[in-house]
Amino acid sequence: MARRQATPPDMDYTEKIIDIDVTSEMEGSFLEYAYSVIYSRALPDARDGLKPVQRRILYMMTDMGLRPDRGHVKSARVVGEVMGKLHPHGDAAIYDAMVRMAQNFSLRLPLIDGHGNFGSLDDGPAAARYTEARLAPAALTMTDHLGEDVVDFIPNYDNQLTQPEVLPAAFPNLLVNGATGIAVGMATNMAPHNLGEVIAAARHLIDNPEATLEDIMRFVPGPDLPSGGRIVGLDGIRDAYATGRGSFKTRAAVEVEQLSARRTGLVVTELPYMVGPEKVIEKIKDAVTAKKLQGISDIVDLTDRTHGLRLVIELKNGFNPNAVLAQLYRYSPMEDSFGINNVTLVDGQPRTLGLVELLQVYISHRISVVRRRTSYRLAKKKDRLHLVEGLLIAIVDIDEVIQIIRSSDEAAAARTRLMSIYDLTEIQANYILELRLRQLTKYSRIELEKEQDELRREIAELEEILGSEQRLRALVSDELAAVAEQFATPRRTVLLESEASAPLKGTVLPSPAGNGAKAPLALEIADDPCWVILSTCGQLARTTGREQISDGGQRVKHDAFTSVVATTARAEIGALTSSGRMVRLQVVDMPALPPTNGIPNLAGGVSVKEFITLERGEVLVGLVPLDKPFALGTAQGVVKRVVPDYPLNRDDWEAVTLKPKDSVVGLAAADDADDLVFITREAQLLRFPASLVRPQGRLAGGVAGIKLAERDAVVFFGAVRAQDPAAVVVTIAAGSESLPGTVPGSVKVTEFSEYPAKGRATGGVRCHRFLKGEDHLSLAWAGHGPARAVSATGVARALPTEHGRRDGSGVALSQPVDAIGPNPV
């Protein structure tokens, strides 16, 4: 490679070296650069809430005529126009700013109507050559009246075009849509707010210039984020509104749902501001892998366009949803912090403003815009009135005016003669010379006189507005109200004063010491005492304590219980079917009913079929504890007391060996102090002590319980405390010739003490005398009274309050009864 030769200086070259201080030069250059970044790129103007690139995009789209009622154009075309004429920077930066103004999850009130893939919280937008855009309706209010000298215009970067220094901004865009930006040595981060609330506060400040922050916060209680969610703790918001700096916590909106009979889940419908579901899923999975989060079995994103965000977090059995949610808030982006830093440009200088100051700057700007617009319109009206008055003068003597113009050698001579003869100004004379003959008709004169009157009225009104500060401020307020009526939407973000008012109750509990301190909720469900309840309609659930079924209360749907088992939340119980099969059930898998002061409503439970798969013709008889003996009775009169000797490695097993065509009809927890009771189809009742039945293993077939007639069968088997004074027997008779459900039949309630105890394997005594048309018992029950009767839909039915004779007949039922259950004890 040839060596480059240095070119010698010219003969008249004079060397001049200037010594400068490097420190001073660096300070000056850096300050100039910093000011350029602050003013020309990073910080929004307090008046219209826009950065220069955003302002230039909206102005150029307005200049291109991309109104909401026009078609979309390629985003690349808009970017090119902005970059070539107003913003000499990279196209990526311009497109990014344009995309943000079109995203409804970034801005509370988007200013650009985007068509195509403008990105999401987890993915970026498509390239500018693929997407299309036009102005959103709200953007028209930002650029409206630009042609009426409402703001100053400044040269563009090459002094060939002009651009607005600030937009008119018919609503407080800085507060409504917020802003974010990083400048040299400072940053701004402003939260979005509700348009209706901000405008209401601005109008109040217009009417009451001395209003305090407390007055304004009655209208603007806090930010209103596009994604909704929850804001927890308002102290930081008050600090930010007072000083311009503060922070607050945002949380996802979460509901606890029963995903299936055995599974509970947390359903997330709203996330914190600028947090996407994919980020949440990733962080949750990382926390579960790192053992920071417990109790989560799966997480599924079911978000779609129809239902919006729906993030389902499935929980493991035995974990408290509130405690898991508290962990999620701690270890995932489902709780985020937003720091408010209201740094904005005021008169070209960066300042940190509170809520009242921000509104005051905007109101001053809007008053200036309306005043300049009014002055512009007044000047235009006066100019037009001046022309109309001159034209009316000429029309009065139109023939002579025409003669003067025709006899003049040139336009200048005609203008001079008209000005001297009719005392017109040069502007009026030029206007007359430029008129067409058709504008000089008699009809035009009538129109001109009407226009003259209208102009004088409008001029007087405009002068009144300019002459009265009160009228001017009222006009600004009215225009703000019109914008609010057109674009205001309901609040999306819920404001919570503290964590104690969180939507999911029980996130924190009072300290056991009773000193008012907060103790974290236990992650796993404690093994506390509870009751498992099975209703006559096949609904299964667990309660949180005994008091829920012992306090009485009004009858509600599903309040007739087939089985009530005392157990603990993390224990196991058994479910016995009519085929003698015992199925092991986990109590913690069952849905927990909310606390009540009376009888729980089992409509909040789930069908037992979700827990037990029944064969054809097989029904669930009842529930029993697995750690205590119980007695069962079959349709053929067999009785068996079962000892708790069950296999530990199986979920279902045979609890009794049944004879062919036999089935289990009832079961009950029974000790030696109880009486076992059989009631048959032909109204025979046998009562004998449980001590007469020796406990047997699970494979035994039982012993004879009641002696049955040839075609008789057992319809009820149970256990009754022998000395219970409130024990009753309920029997309901029916006829074989009537269709089921068409004839209610008769019912009889008898005191249990009226039936004498007999020996095992005997026939018992008569318990119901059939009336005409009755030949069997459709239902029977014995136990602690009063009993509860229900229809097939779970609606309560009344039973007789007076007790009848043991061998007497019943009283007619007004409506059919499909099941009888014990009163809660």
Angstrom distance (rounded) from CA 727 to CA 749: 10
Please check whether residues 572 and 676 belong to one and the same domain. Answer: no
Alpha-carbon distance of 790 to 819, in angstroms, equals: 6
- Specify whether 621 is located in the same domain as 635: no
User: Do 740 and 785 fall into the same domain?
Assistant: yes
Choose, from 13, 35, 59, 130, the residue flagged as catalytic. Answer: 130
Q: Do 262 and 610 contact (CB within 8 A), yes or no?
A: yes
The domain boundary, picked from 595, 627, 659, lies at: 627
Q: Tell me which of 627, 655, 673 is where a domain ends.
A: 627
Q: Identify the pLDDT of residue 360.
A: 96
Enclosing domain of residue 314: 253-333
- What CA dihedral angle connects 364, 366, 372 and 377, to 10 degrees? -150
Q: Are 318 and 435 within one domain?
A: no
Asked whether the bond before 600 is cis by omega within 30 degrees of 0, the reply is: no
Range 84-92, long-range pairs (CB < 8 A, 24+ positions):
85/60, 85/156, 85/161, 86/56, 86/59, 86/60, 86/156, 86/157, 86/161, 86/163, 87/52, 87/53, 87/56, 87/157, 88/157, 89/53, 91/128
Could you please report the per-residue DSSP string of 171-224?
S-HHHHH-EEEE-SS-EEEE----HHHHHHHHHHHHH-TT--HHHHHTT--S--
Q: How far is Cα 388 from Cα 448, in angstroms, rounded to an integer? A: 7
Note whether residue 811 is domain-resident: yes
State which of 567, 600, 627 marks the end of a domain: 627
- Number of structural domains the chain divides into: 5
Global pTM? 0.73
Is residue 67 exposed (0-12), middle (13-18) or buried (19+ Cβ within 10 Å)? middle
Looking at the structure, tell me whether residues 745 and 817 fall in a common domain. Answer: yes
Q: Are residues 823 and 700 in the same domain?
A: yes
Q: How far is CA 433 from CA 65, 390, 410, 682, in A?
A: 35, 11, 11, 121
Q: Is residue 668 part of a domain?
A: yes
C-alpha 269/C-alpha 716 separation (Å) is: 50
Residue 144 lies in a domain: yes
Q: Is 157 a catalytic residue?
A: no
- Reading the block at residue 352, the tokens are 């940190």
Q: Are 817 and 588 in contact (CB under 8 A)?
A: no
Q: Are residues 583 and 729 in the same domain?
A: no
Is 53 within a domain? yes
Q: Is residue 208 situated within a structural domain?
A: no
Q: So what's the pLDDT on residue 503?
A: 44
One domain, residues 593 and 663? no
Mean pLDDT by runs of 10 across the 825 residues of the chain is 62 77 75 63 88 94 94 96 92 94 94 94 93 96 93 92 94 94 78 96 95 94 94 91 94 87 85 92 91 88 87 85 87 92 89 95 96 95 92 84 85 89 89 78 77 94 93 95 95 82 41 42 73 82 61 48 83 89 85 67 72 85 87 92 83 88 89 89 91 87 89 91 85 78 76 89 89 86 79 72 80 77 59
Give the burial class of 72: count Cβ atoms within 10 A of its Cβ; 0-12 exposed, 13-18 middle, 19 or more buried. Answer: middle
Instruction: Specify whether 664 is located in the same domain as 751.
Output: yes
Instruction: Flag whether 111 is in a domain.
Output: yes
User: Among 605, 178, 568, 560, which Cα is nearest to 358's?
Assistant: 178
| Residues with Cβ within 8 Å of residue 738, at least 6 apart in sequence | 773
The CATH number given to whatever domain includes residue 285 is 3.30.1360.40
- Longest Cα separation, the chain: 145
Tokens of 274: 């600028």
Tokens in use for 428? 């009026």
CA 14 – CA 711 distance, rounded (Å): 135
pLDDT score of 715? 92
Closest listed residue to residue 333, CA positions, set 407, 390, 274:
274
Closest residue by Cα to residue 343 from 663, 761, 44, 753? 44
Q: For residue 181, give the amino acid letter.
A: G
Q: pLDDT value at position 69? A: 93
Asked if residue 767 belongs to a domain, the reply is yes
What are the percentages of helix, strand and coil residues in the chain, rounded to 5?
Answer: 30, 25, 45
Residue 429 and residue 389: Cα distance in Å, rounded?
11
DSSP calls for 806-818: TTS--EE-SS---
Residue 437, domain member (yes or no): yes
Which phi-psi region, left, alpha or beta, contains residue 812 (left: φ > 0; alpha: ψ -120 to 50)? beta
Pair (601, 637) in one structural domain: no
* C-alpha 69, offset from chain centre: 32
Any idea which residue has 């596009």 for tokens? 226
In this structure, are 425 and 534 located in the same domain? Answer: no
765 and 643 inside one domain? yes
Residue 126: give its domain's CATH number: 3.90.199.10
Q: What is the CATH number of the domain that holds 785?
A: 2.120.10.90
CB 706 within 8 A of CB 693: no
